[in-house]
Structure 1
Amino acid sequence: MHMPAPPSLPANPDCRKVNAILGRMGDKWTILTITMLADQPRRFNELKRLIGGISQQMLTRTLKALEADGMVTRKVHPTVPPQVEYGLTDLGASLAAPIMQLAAWVLDHLGEIEAHRALHDKETKHVRN
Structure 2
Amino acid sequence: MKKHIIPTIAFALFTTSAYGQSMQVGFSNVTTVVPGGDIKICKARYGTGYVTSPHKNGAKIHKSSDKGHFIHITKSNVTLHHDVYVMANEYNMSYPGDKGEITAKAYVYATALDRKSGFSGVFSDGQCKGQLTISAK
Same fold per superposition (TM over 0.5): no
Larger Rg: 1
Please report the TM-score for the alignment, with normalisation by the length of structure 1.
0.24
Higher RCO, Cα 8 Å, sep 6+: 2
Question: Which structure has more strand as a fraction of its residues?
Answer: 2
